[in-house]
Structure 1
């Protein structure tokens, strides 16, 4: 039975061919390949029972033997095993419908059984999230192939399974490409349950933390309380230890087993706490000690009971934990947004989900026309809603979600992603370059800016252009395209905007000369072209052609090779006197300042004090990078300025008239940078 998945994307609204539409994504597909090689004593018939969330195809010794798309039913397949090595392969596609992640498998032949498990040592389940070309992956030895790793614990709702008696103890196993789980309520970091946290970590007896059955720790009868210790590198949330006895059959396991051991945990390697123990061991091949989850960096297994006449031989020790992985990344398939083979422009995105304190979720995007040649990934954006800045128009869009957490027990989650786009575009192509491409931070430089625009029939045309600026620019020359005239020019601390007297609809080039100061180590003169339809705009691409005279590639970026001047400068209030009496006339001030040489956004403190030194108001500036933060133009919203103050204290009460001190402080690795100014409040 095959159950088709719901569509992964949905057009929420389309106003007209020229208007922006929205595409919603609320489920995420993921394909994982699994492999197990196991040995049968002889050729024989066997029963293969399995299910997987959501759809699978299973292969035995290179041949497809079954498939299914209903994870709630366990299928039983009659298969033929060959004597010696048998190769089991399963391709699983998870549709992201909150049903879980992973698969569960039993292969039973007489008194022999092979199960899905996270703790195999000689017959190991492995997985890969990479696309598998051809058929080699069905039978090849994957133990040394890059991109293939051991499975960890998966999850599904076992009570909903039919046809599964669970008598053999098979585990739900899973692999999580990118460290991300698509099977829950949204997209989230994978669990670490079932993952061997000690594998190949620094240890006093590395032979038992290497995942290999052949390397053995031998304990003499008189070596009571000897131990194997591992350093996990960082504190982890630990919950279970597994110990594997060396040997190949029941007799060897019985001869080589430990009689008892204790598990101890430490955070400094000196003070140890016993968290669990086992004595009088009767399961000779493999034992496990589970304990209440505890944070620890160091763990050791202490031999507390030994046979007085025989050596004990330990093949491997595994340490598993709980919680979520520290980081993960999900990369989508290419998206056509319901319009295959059609160019589109990508306006904005917004996402819903959860981002608890101490966690991070950021988005990146890229575009392509053919699915082969892709643009670079856009810079990471951590805000839940932002402009989509990618080369456009393009047929295909792809996104990447980056997750991280500082905690073992909590992580961020993406529940939905909405992309605003349009089929029609202001222009068919727009490319930008500037010169020079090198400068000095803090020094005024004259730039020459070139914007080449191409139009096709049906394009909406360009009404205005917005160019990102590193600081307040002084425009010295405008050379418009033939037949075009600039109606208005607006300069702000971070942009230059040009409005055309008539709609620009003929291919041509705009050239500007202006003077501005570079305030970060690198700056891109990104440009957005707006159509008469306000919701539809086009991000210009970087012109990467080569200069015919020098052969050097063009660019729309400038990089710094030196820096001069202070990091924090030009701190003042504008206006220095204001009257917050509610008449919308001079009822606020802007704390203006210039930040230089800060390329990574930093928290900047803007604090207002009365003359007695009491903190009256702490402005919410957010994280800022180098730039000139000044009062916006008349048509701008002053409340969006990081230095906006409306004359109210932190409780929302208007302050009393008088003189107030303003402190702007940048807390940097090289020390605090602080500047003061004053402002007067009158009524």
Structure 2
């Protein structure tokens, strides 16, 4: 028998406990790297972390000339990065930098661990004190050779080492046409790969200038950012130019280094060609195979199409 007073019947038990946090963020204090009054050309940043399956860890960076400018925790951060050993992704040169570690886990038994961070930097290999870049035009037909003007504004301090080389991210191999504004310097050499235009000056530039770098290239991507990296003499540590976002007095819109590409004549398929142009599949070892090249620039939904040699679909 159950006595309702001394032997109550337990119908339900509620147990409370603390849950694990699925997400967490660590934000460092502003770092002056031992020289609070000196701007730095930050080089590569490396970190080591343990990230078990089912967890995530990313790192972000930002920079400023004053520690107080980093008091707002929300603005100025770089894109979240998952892999270390990269060039510093924030604006340079700056006196202070800051990093933020974002961690997440989907299991209470696992957690990512951020172990250590390494930062390379130069105090005496700063090419310029300020640099801003912008591209024009900002909107072009996709896949068409176009002449661009990259405007690079640079300002120097007395202690700056000078600007010896410029590297601009390009969407395809580029052809340099001319550079206006070199003043006492001159072009020594230029070279372009499929993703970078490199310009080497005969003498380092050491006075304030506005360089207009004109080149031809094309893009098959919808969006491309023409970022520029600047090098001091005998240095392999690039300094990131900032994006010029001032207002264009002619268009009343902000400048930008971002290019948007539009489909040419609303065609999805362009630049179609067959290599070799003569196709004779008769097993004689000559022109038995052909490659069809094309640029596909506008797709609403994928659709499989099969063609016969009689050009019937």
TM-score, normalized by length of structure 1?
A: 0.36
- The answer to whether the 8 A contact 2:227-2:241 is kept is yes
Q: Deviation at 1:368?
A: 1.2
CA–CA separation in structure 2 for the residues paired with 1:362 and 1:526: 23
2:180 to 479, 487, 494: 479
Structure 2 equivalent of residue 336 of structure 1: 32
- Where in structure 2 are the equivalents of 1:51-66 lying within 5 Å? none
Q: Secondary structure at the match of 1:496?
A: strand
Matched, 1:548 2:299: no
CA–CA separation in structure 2 for the residues paired with 1:571 and 1:460: 51
CA–CA separation in structure 1 for the residues paired with 2:262 and 2:225: 15
Structure 2 equivalent of residue 397 of structure 1: 97
Matched, 1:452 2:153: yes
Q: Deviation at 1:538?
A: 1.3
Structure 1 equivalent of residue 111 of structure 2: 411
- Where in structure 2 are the equivalents of 1:422-437 lying within 5 Å? 422-424=122-124, 425-437=126-138
Matched, 1:502 2:193: no
What number of residue pairs does the alignment pair up?
275
CA–CA separation in structure 2 for the residues paired with 1:320 and 1:562: 55
Structure 1 equivalent of residue 10 of structure 2: 259
2:232 to 505, 522, 531: 531
Greater relative CO (CA pairs within 8 A, separation 6+): 2
* Deviating more after overlay: 442-451 vs 366-375: 366-375
Q: Deviation at 1:557?
A: 1.5
CA–CA separation in structure 2 for the residues paired with 1:422 and 1:347: 7
Structure 2 equivalent of residue 362 of structure 1: 58
CA–CA separation in structure 2 for the residues paired with 1:571 and 1:504: 47
CA–CA separation in structure 1 for the residues paired with 2:52 and 2:303: 29
Structure 1 equivalent of residue 280 of structure 2: none
Matched, 1:512 2:210: no
CA–CA separation in structure 1 for the residues paired with 2:294 and 2:189: 26
Sort the Cα spacing of 1:428 and 1:354 in 2 relative to 1 into closer, same or farther, 3 A.
Answer: same
Q: Deviation at 1:406?
A: 4.8
TM-score, normalized by length of structure 2?
A: 0.75
Sort the Cα spacing of 1:444 and 1:344 in 2 relative to 1 into closer, same or farther, 3 A.
Answer: same
CA displacement 1:538-593 (0-9 Å, x = unmatched): 111111222233332211222345576569x9999xxxxxxxxxxxxxxxxxxxx9
Sort the Cα spacing of 1:351 and 1:477 in 2 relative to 1 into closer, same or farther, 3 A.
Answer: same
CA–CA separation in structure 1 for the residues paired with 2:31 and 2:170: 32
CA–CA separation in structure 2 for the residues paired with 1:594 and 1:372: 53
Structure 2 equivalent of residue 610 of structure 1: none
CA–CA separation in structure 1 for the residues paired with 2:216 and 2:29: 43
Sort the Cα spacing of 1:597 and 1:528 in 2 relative to 1 into closer, same or farther, 3 A.
Answer: farther
CA displacement 1:44-66 (0-9 Å, x = unmatched): xxxxxxxxxxxxxxxxxxxxxxx
Structure 1 equivalent of residue 140 of structure 2: 439
- Where in structure 2 are the equivalents of 1:198-217 lying within 5 Å? none
Q: Which has the larger radius of gyration?
A: 1
Structure 2 equivalent of residue 381 of structure 1: 81
CA–CA separation in structure 2 for the residues paired with 1:327 and 1:594: 45
Consecutive unaligned residues in structure 1, runs of 5 or more: 1-253, 262-277, 279-286, 289-317, 573-592, 599-667, 674-683
